[in-house]
A and B are shown apart, each in its own frame.
Chain A
Amino acid sequence: MMLLATKDLSSYLPILLIILMAVSFGAINVIGSLVLGPKRDGTTKAQSYESGMNPVGTARKRFNVRFYLIAMVFLVFDVEIVFLYPWATTFPNIAPMSHEGLIWLGRIFFFLLTTVVAYIYGYRKGVFRFD
Chain B
Amino acid sequence: MHIPEFLTSQLLVSVAVLLVVFHVILGGAGMCIYLERKISAYIQDRIGPNRVGFDFGLPFLAFLKGMWGLGQFLADGLKLFLKEDYTPARVDKILFALAPALVVIPPLVTFAIIPWGGSWEAPWLPIPFLGWLPPAVVLVAGANISVGMVYVLAAASLGVYGITLGGWASNNKYSFFGGLRATAQMISYEIPMGLSLLAVLLTIGSLLPEQIIRWQYQHGWLILSQPIAAALFYVTALAEGNRAPFDNAECEQELVGGFHTEFSSMRFALYPLAEYAHLITGSALFAMIFLGGYHLPLGFLGSNHLLSPENVTTLGMIAKIAVFGGKTFLLICFGMLIRWTIPRLRYDQVMTTGWQGAIPISLFVVIVTSVMVYFGQTSLLALLGANVAMFFVILIALPLMPKTASNARIPLYGSRYSPMEGERVLTGPTNATALEDRPVQGTLAS
Which A residues form the contact surface with B (CB < 8 A)?
1, 3-7, 10-15, 17-19, 21-23, 25-27, 29-30, 32-34, 36-40, 45-51, 55, 58-61, 63, 65-67, 70-71, 74, 77-78, 81, 84-85, 88-93, 96-97, 101-102, 105, 108-109, 112, 115-116, 119, 123-131
Contacts and interface: CB of A to CB of B under 8 A. Distances in A.
Contacts of A77: 191, 359
Given A14-B11, A18-B142, A74-B187, A32 B347 contact: no
Contacts of B407: 125-126, 129
Nearest to A66: B184
Nearest to A38: B84
Nearest to B139: A3
Contacts of B378: 92
A91 B266 contact: no
B176 A78 contact: no
Contact of A32 (B14, B138, B266): B266
Contact of B101 (A27, A67, A89): A27
B355 interface: yes
B229 interface: no
Contacts of B191: 74, 77-78, 81
Given A3-B210, A30-B266, A129-B407, A105 B371 contact: yes
B85 A34 contact: yes
B359 A131 contact: no
A97 B367 contact: no
Which of B15, B194, B409 counts the most A-chain CB atoms under 10 A from its CB? B194
A26 B270 contact: yes
B172 A81 contact: no
A108 B106 CA distance: 31
Nearest to B108: A22
B277 to A, nearest CB: 10
Nearest to B195: A81
A29 B265 CA distance: 10
11 contacts: A12-B145, A14-B15, A15-B143, A15-B145, A18-B18, A26-B102, A29-B100, A29-B101, A32-B266, A67-B180, A126-B407
Given A32-B266, A96-B375, A13 B144 contact: no
Nearest to B210: A3
Given A49-B262, A58-B171, A112-B363, A67 B184 contact: yes
A23 B100 CA distance: 11
Contacts of B180: 63, 67
A85 B171 contact: no
B143 A12 contact: yes
B112 A18 contact: yes
Contacts of B91: 48
B172 A50 contact: yes
B204 A92 contact: yes
Contact of B137 (A3, A10, A38, A105): A3
A85 to B, nearest CB: 6
Contacts of A34: 85
Contacts, number: 256
Contacts of A7: 146
B101 A88 contact: no
Interface string B14-50: 1100100010001000000000000000000000000
Contacts of A48: 88, 90-91, 170-172, 175, 261-262
B161 to A, nearest CB: 12
B376 A18 contact: no
Nearest to B370: A105
Contact of A74 (B84, B137, B188, B347): B188
B205 interface: yes
B333 interface: no
B338 to A, nearest CB: 23
Interface in B164-202: 170-176, 180, 183-184, 187-188, 190-191, 194-195, 198, 201-202
Contact of A22 (B80, B109, B374, B412): B109
B303 interface: no
Given A17-B15, A32-B81, A6 B101 contact: no
Contact of A18 (B22, B89, B146, B262): B22
Nearest to A127: B355
B265 A128 contact: no
Contacts of B314: none
A77 B410 CA distance: 24
A26 B104 contact: yes
Contacts of B266: 29-30, 32-33
Nearest to A102: B374
A21, A46, A92: most-surrounded residue (chain B CB, <10 A): A92
A18 B109 contact: yes
A64 to B, nearest CB: 8
B417 interface: yes
Nearest to B78: A36
B175 A33 contact: no
Interface in B348-392: 348, 351-352, 355-356, 359-360, 363, 366-367, 370-371, 373-376, 378
B174 A33 contact: no
